[in-house]
Amino acid sequence: VCPRGQRTDEHKICRECTGSPDRYDWLYLGFMAMLPLVLHWFFIEWYSGKKSWRAGYLQMGESFGSFLPVIALRTCAPAGSLRLRSCRVKKLSDWYTMLYNPSPDYITTVHCTHEAVYPLYTIVFIYYAFCLVLMMLLRPLLVKKIACGLGKSDRFKSIYAALYFFPILTVLQAVGGGLLYYAFPYIILVLSLVTLAVYMSASEVESFKDLLVRKKRLVVLFSHWLLHAYGIISISKLDKLEQDLPLLALVPAPALFYLLTAKYTEPSRILSEGGNGH
Protein backbone atom coordinates (compact mmCIF):
# COMPACT_ATOMS: atom_id res chain seq x y z
CA VAL A 1 0.00 0.00 0.00
CA CYS A 2 1.26 3.46 -0.89
CA PRO A 3 0.91 6.50 1.40
CA ARG A 4 -1.70 9.10 0.45
CA GLY A 5 -0.41 11.20 -2.41
CA GLN A 6 1.58 8.36 -3.97
CA ARG A 7 0.92 5.51 -6.38
CA THR A 8 2.89 2.65 -7.86
CA ASP A 9 4.83 3.04 -11.09
CA GLU A 10 5.43 0.41 -13.77
CA HIS A 11 7.97 -1.28 -11.47
CA LYS A 12 5.43 -1.49 -8.58
CA ILE A 13 7.36 1.09 -6.56
CA CYS A 14 5.48 3.87 -4.76
CA ARG A 15 6.19 7.25 -6.32
CA GLU A 16 4.95 10.63 -5.19
CA CYS A 17 2.30 12.25 -7.39
CA THR A 18 3.91 15.26 -9.03
CA GLY A 19 1.43 16.01 -11.80
CA SER A 20 -1.55 18.35 -11.77
CA PRO A 21 -5.17 17.72 -12.82
CA ASP A 22 -5.81 18.20 -16.52
CA ARG A 23 -8.82 19.98 -17.98
CA TYR A 24 -11.00 16.86 -17.92
CA ASP A 25 -10.18 16.23 -14.24
CA TRP A 26 -11.26 19.77 -13.34
CA LEU A 27 -14.46 19.34 -15.33
CA TYR A 28 -15.18 16.13 -13.41
CA LEU A 29 -14.62 17.88 -10.07
CA GLY A 30 -16.88 20.70 -11.26
CA PHE A 31 -19.60 18.17 -12.09
CA MET A 32 -19.39 16.55 -8.66
CA ALA A 33 -19.58 20.02 -7.07
CA MET A 34 -22.61 20.93 -9.20
CA LEU A 35 -24.64 17.89 -8.15
CA PRO A 36 -25.46 19.04 -4.59
CA LEU A 37 -25.93 22.64 -5.75
CA VAL A 38 -28.48 21.67 -8.43
CA LEU A 39 -30.29 19.41 -5.96
CA HIS A 40 -30.39 22.24 -3.43
CA TRP A 41 -31.90 24.56 -6.05
CA PHE A 42 -34.47 21.95 -7.05
CA PHE A 43 -35.72 21.20 -3.54
CA ILE A 44 -35.72 24.87 -2.54
CA GLU A 45 -37.90 25.60 -5.56
CA TRP A 46 -40.05 22.51 -4.97
CA TYR A 47 -40.90 23.36 -1.36
CA SER A 48 -41.23 27.12 -1.83
CA GLY A 49 -44.48 26.84 -3.72
CA LYS A 50 -45.66 30.23 -4.94
CA LYS A 51 -43.07 32.10 -2.89
CA SER A 52 -40.68 32.03 -5.85
CA TRP A 53 -38.92 35.26 -4.90
CA ARG A 54 -38.06 33.78 -1.51
CA ALA A 55 -36.76 30.68 -3.27
CA GLY A 56 -34.51 32.90 -5.41
CA TYR A 57 -32.89 34.43 -2.33
CA LEU A 58 -32.37 31.02 -0.77
CA GLN A 59 -30.86 29.70 -4.00
CA MET A 60 -28.42 32.60 -4.16
CA GLY A 61 -27.47 32.00 -0.54
CA GLU A 62 -26.94 28.32 -1.24
CA SER A 63 -24.77 29.15 -4.27
CA PHE A 64 -22.51 31.20 -2.01
CA GLY A 65 -22.54 28.43 0.59
CA SER A 66 -21.50 25.87 -2.03
CA PHE A 67 -18.59 28.05 -3.14
CA LEU A 68 -17.12 28.32 0.36
CA PRO A 69 -16.15 24.60 0.57
CA VAL A 70 -13.57 25.25 -2.15
CA ILE A 71 -11.34 25.38 0.93
CA ALA A 72 -11.44 21.60 0.57
CA LEU A 73 -8.69 22.14 -1.98
CA ARG A 74 -6.50 23.52 0.77
CA THR A 75 -6.59 20.24 2.65
CA CYS A 76 -4.87 18.41 -0.22
CA ALA A 77 -1.20 18.65 -1.07
CA PRO A 78 0.35 21.12 -1.37
CA ALA A 79 -1.45 22.13 1.84
CA GLY A 80 -2.70 25.70 2.00
CA SER A 81 -2.62 26.20 -1.78
CA LEU A 82 -5.38 26.17 -4.40
CA ARG A 83 -3.02 24.27 -6.68
CA LEU A 84 -3.54 20.50 -6.66
CA ARG A 85 -0.92 17.80 -7.01
CA SER A 86 -2.45 14.67 -8.51
CA CYS A 87 -1.84 11.26 -10.03
CA ARG A 88 -2.95 10.67 -13.59
CA VAL A 89 -5.96 8.45 -14.24
CA LYS A 90 -4.82 5.73 -16.64
CA LYS A 91 -7.72 3.27 -16.61
CA LEU A 92 -10.98 2.45 -14.83
CA SER A 93 -9.34 0.00 -12.43
CA ASP A 94 -7.31 2.86 -10.92
CA TRP A 95 -10.49 3.87 -9.07
CA TYR A 96 -11.05 0.42 -7.54
CA THR A 97 -7.72 -0.73 -6.14
CA MET A 98 -9.58 -2.52 -3.33
CA LEU A 99 -10.68 -5.12 -5.89
CA TYR A 100 -7.09 -6.08 -6.67
CA ASN A 101 -5.77 -7.11 -3.25
CA PRO A 102 -3.57 -10.16 -3.90
CA SER A 103 -3.97 -13.48 -2.05
CA PRO A 104 -0.67 -15.39 -2.14
CA ASP A 105 -1.31 -19.15 -2.03
CA TYR A 106 -5.03 -18.28 -1.64
CA ILE A 107 -4.56 -18.14 2.12
CA THR A 108 -3.84 -14.60 3.31
CA THR A 109 -5.11 -11.49 1.56
CA VAL A 110 -2.57 -8.68 1.32
CA HIS A 111 -4.37 -5.35 1.66
CA CYS A 112 -2.64 -2.83 -0.58
CA THR A 113 -5.58 -0.53 -1.29
CA HIS A 114 -4.59 3.10 -1.83
CA GLU A 115 -5.87 6.14 -3.73
CA ALA A 116 -4.28 5.65 -7.13
CA VAL A 117 -6.26 8.58 -8.55
CA TYR A 118 -5.26 11.00 -5.77
CA PRO A 119 -6.99 13.33 -4.99
CA LEU A 120 -9.99 12.89 -7.32
CA TYR A 121 -11.59 10.24 -5.12
CA THR A 122 -11.26 11.66 -1.60
CA ILE A 123 -11.53 15.36 -2.37
CA VAL A 124 -15.19 14.87 -3.32
CA PHE A 125 -15.93 13.40 0.12
CA ILE A 126 -14.11 16.30 1.77
CA TYR A 127 -16.12 18.79 -0.28
CA TYR A 128 -19.44 17.13 0.60
CA ALA A 129 -18.50 17.10 4.29
CA PHE A 130 -17.77 20.84 4.21
CA CYS A 131 -21.03 21.47 2.31
CA LEU A 132 -23.05 19.52 4.87
CA VAL A 133 -21.50 21.29 7.86
CA LEU A 134 -21.94 24.75 6.34
CA MET A 135 -25.52 23.94 5.37
CA MET A 136 -26.38 22.89 8.92
CA LEU A 137 -24.79 26.06 10.31
CA LEU A 138 -25.99 28.69 7.83
CA ARG A 139 -29.15 27.45 6.08
CA PRO A 140 -31.44 27.44 9.16
CA LEU A 141 -30.58 31.11 9.71
CA LEU A 142 -31.32 31.95 6.06
CA VAL A 143 -34.56 29.98 6.08
CA LYS A 144 -35.73 31.63 9.28
CA LYS A 145 -34.90 35.09 7.94
CA ILE A 146 -35.98 34.78 4.30
CA ALA A 147 -38.58 32.02 4.18
CA CYS A 148 -40.65 33.28 7.08
CA GLY A 149 -43.67 33.51 4.77
CA LEU A 150 -43.77 29.76 4.32
CA GLY A 151 -45.57 27.38 6.61
CA LYS A 152 -43.63 25.98 9.54
CA SER A 153 -43.82 22.47 8.13
CA ASP A 154 -42.52 23.53 4.68
CA ARG A 155 -39.84 25.91 5.86
CA PHE A 156 -37.16 23.34 6.62
CA LYS A 157 -38.12 20.60 4.16
CA SER A 158 -35.35 21.59 1.74
CA ILE A 159 -32.85 21.03 4.57
CA TYR A 160 -34.36 17.63 5.36
CA ALA A 161 -34.08 16.74 1.66
CA ALA A 162 -30.37 17.58 1.74
CA LEU A 163 -29.92 15.23 4.69
CA TYR A 164 -31.13 12.49 2.38
CA PHE A 165 -29.33 13.30 -0.85
CA PHE A 166 -25.89 14.01 0.66
CA PRO A 167 -25.52 10.39 1.90
CA ILE A 168 -26.81 9.18 -1.47
CA LEU A 169 -24.22 11.29 -3.32
CA THR A 170 -21.51 10.02 -0.98
CA VAL A 171 -22.40 6.37 -1.65
CA LEU A 172 -22.62 7.15 -5.37
CA GLN A 173 -19.09 8.56 -5.34
CA ALA A 174 -17.77 5.69 -3.23
CA VAL A 175 -19.23 2.97 -5.46
CA GLY A 176 -19.41 4.58 -8.88
CA GLY A 177 -16.72 7.26 -8.82
CA GLY A 178 -14.77 5.69 -11.68
CA LEU A 179 -17.88 5.16 -13.79
CA LEU A 180 -18.97 8.75 -13.21
CA TYR A 181 -15.51 9.97 -14.20
CA TYR A 182 -15.88 8.49 -17.68
CA ALA A 183 -19.64 8.96 -18.13
CA PHE A 184 -20.41 12.35 -16.57
CA PRO A 185 -20.38 14.37 -19.87
CA TYR A 186 -23.07 12.13 -21.33
CA ILE A 187 -25.02 12.13 -18.05
CA ILE A 188 -25.06 15.94 -18.14
CA LEU A 189 -26.34 16.05 -21.71
CA VAL A 190 -29.06 13.44 -21.22
CA LEU A 191 -30.33 14.84 -17.91
CA SER A 192 -30.29 18.44 -19.11
CA LEU A 193 -32.26 17.50 -22.22
CA VAL A 194 -34.83 15.49 -20.27
CA THR A 195 -35.30 18.08 -17.50
CA LEU A 196 -35.60 20.92 -20.03
CA ALA A 197 -38.31 19.05 -21.95
CA VAL A 198 -40.17 18.17 -18.74
CA TYR A 199 -39.99 21.75 -17.43
CA MET A 200 -41.19 23.34 -20.67
CA SER A 201 -43.99 20.81 -20.95
CA ALA A 202 -45.09 21.27 -17.32
CA SER A 203 -44.94 25.07 -17.72
CA GLU A 204 -46.98 24.83 -20.96
CA VAL A 205 -44.35 26.65 -22.99
CA GLU A 206 -45.33 26.29 -26.63
CA SER A 207 -43.87 29.42 -28.24
CA PHE A 208 -41.17 32.05 -27.86
CA LYS A 209 -43.81 34.40 -26.45
CA ASP A 210 -44.52 31.98 -23.59
CA LEU A 211 -40.84 32.09 -22.65
CA LEU A 212 -40.87 35.86 -22.33
CA VAL A 213 -43.93 35.97 -20.07
CA ARG A 214 -41.88 35.14 -16.97
CA LYS A 215 -38.26 35.92 -16.27
CA LYS A 216 -37.98 32.69 -14.31
CA ARG A 217 -38.47 30.66 -17.49
CA LEU A 218 -35.59 32.47 -19.18
CA VAL A 219 -33.38 31.82 -16.15
CA VAL A 220 -34.21 28.11 -16.32
CA LEU A 221 -33.56 28.06 -20.07
CA PHE A 222 -30.17 29.78 -19.79
CA SER A 223 -29.24 27.45 -16.91
CA HIS A 224 -29.91 24.44 -19.12
CA TRP A 225 -27.92 26.01 -21.93
CA LEU A 226 -24.97 26.35 -19.57
CA LEU A 227 -25.33 22.66 -18.69
CA HIS A 228 -25.47 21.76 -22.40
CA ALA A 229 -22.30 23.76 -23.02
CA TYR A 230 -20.61 22.13 -20.02
CA GLY A 231 -21.44 18.67 -21.33
CA ILE A 232 -20.21 19.46 -24.84
CA ILE A 233 -16.96 20.94 -23.50
CA SER A 234 -16.46 17.88 -21.28
CA ILE A 235 -16.87 15.51 -24.22
CA SER A 236 -14.67 17.44 -26.63
CA LYS A 237 -12.19 18.62 -23.95
CA LEU A 238 -11.53 21.54 -26.36
CA ASP A 239 -8.33 19.83 -27.50
CA LYS A 240 -8.74 21.30 -30.98
CA LEU A 241 -10.38 24.70 -30.66
CA GLU A 242 -11.04 25.16 -34.38
CA GLN A 243 -13.06 21.91 -34.43
CA ASP A 244 -14.60 21.90 -30.95
CA LEU A 245 -15.76 25.50 -30.47
CA PRO A 246 -18.32 25.35 -33.35
CA LEU A 247 -20.00 22.50 -31.45
CA LEU A 248 -21.18 25.06 -28.90
CA ALA A 249 -23.53 26.38 -31.58
CA LEU A 250 -25.62 23.25 -30.89
CA VAL A 251 -26.44 24.45 -27.36
CA PRO A 252 -29.77 26.19 -28.27
CA ALA A 253 -30.80 23.41 -30.70
CA PRO A 254 -32.91 21.29 -28.27
CA ALA A 255 -34.91 24.29 -27.05
CA LEU A 256 -35.47 25.55 -30.60
CA PHE A 257 -36.55 22.09 -31.73
CA TYR A 258 -39.01 21.86 -28.85
CA LEU A 259 -40.55 25.27 -29.56
CA LEU A 260 -40.84 24.62 -33.30
CA THR A 261 -42.52 21.22 -32.86
CA ALA A 262 -44.60 21.81 -29.69
CA LYS A 263 -47.69 22.87 -31.65
CA TYR A 264 -47.69 19.57 -33.54
CA THR A 265 -47.64 17.46 -30.36
CA GLU A 266 -50.13 19.42 -28.25
CA PRO A 267 -52.31 16.74 -26.53
CA SER A 268 -55.69 18.41 -27.17
CA ARG A 269 -54.92 18.65 -30.87
CA ILE A 270 -53.95 14.97 -31.06
CA LEU A 271 -57.12 13.96 -29.21
CA SER A 272 -59.34 16.12 -31.42
CA GLU A 273 -57.78 14.76 -34.61
CA GLY A 274 -58.18 11.22 -33.26
CA GLY A 275 -61.85 11.86 -32.56
CA ASN A 276 -62.34 13.13 -36.11
CA GLY A 277 -60.87 9.96 -37.55
CA HIS A 278 -57.68 11.58 -38.89
Q: Which of 95-104, 142-151, 205-214, 252-261 has the lowest mean pLDDT?
A: 142-151
Question: Mean pLDDT, to the nearest integer, of 46-75?
Answer: 64
Average pLDDT of the segment spanning 243-254: 88
| Residue 115 covered by a domain | yes
* pLDDT score at 46: 81
Q: What is the pTM of this model?
A: 0.87
Judge contact between 138 and 73, C-beta under 8 A: no
Question: If we measure between CA atoms, which residue out of 199, 188, 182, 68 comes closest to residue 134?
Answer: 68
Grouping H, G, I as helix, E, B as strand and the rest as coil, residue 266 is coil
Residue 204 within a domain: yes
Residue 271 counted as domain residue: no
pLDDT of 256 reads: 92
Q: How many domains does the chain have?
A: 1
What's the pLDDT band for 47 if we cut at 50, 70, 90? confident
1, pLDDT greater than 90: no
Provide the pLDDT for residue 80.
58
The answer to whether residue 239 is domain-embedded is: yes
Q: Can you give the pLDDT at residue 192?
A: 93
Beta bridge partners of residue 14, listed in sequence order: 8
**Domain-located, residue 274:** no
Provide the residue type at 204 as one letter.
E
Beta-strand pair 6-8/14-16? antiparallel
Is 1 a domain residue?
no
Q: Is the pLDDT of residue 277 over 60?
A: no
Residue range(s) defining the domain that contains residue 98: 6-266
The whole-number pLDDT of residue 222 equals 93
Q: Helix or strand or coil: residue 15?
A: strand
- Residue 57 pLDDT greater than 80, yes or no: no
What does the alpha-carbon distance between residue 140 and residue 159 come to, in Å, rounded to a whole number?
8
At residue 69, does pLDDT exceed 90? no
Most distant pair of Cα atoms in the chain: their distance: 77
Instruction: Considering only residues 197 and 82, tell me which one the structure prediction assigns the higher pLDDT.
Output: 197
Task: Return the top range by mean pLDDT from 72-86, 96-110, 158-172.
Answer: 158-172
Confidence of residue 82 (pLDDT cuts 50, 70, 90): low
Residue 54 pLDDT level (bands cut at 50, 70, 90): low
Q: What is the mean pLDDT of the chain?
A: 82
Question: Does the residue 131 lie in any domain?
Answer: yes
Residue 63 has pLDDT above 80, yes or no: no
According to the model, what pLDDT value does residue 174 have? 94
User: Does 215 have pLDDT greater than 90?
Assistant: no
Domain contains 278 = no
Above 60 in pLDDT, residue 261? yes
What is the predicted pLDDT for the residue at 59? 67
243: confidence class by pLDDT, cuts 50, 70, 90: confident
Higher pLDDT, 118 or 139: 118
**Above 70 in pLDDT, residue 270?**
no
Are 36 and 131 in contact by the 8 Å Cβ rule? The answer is yes
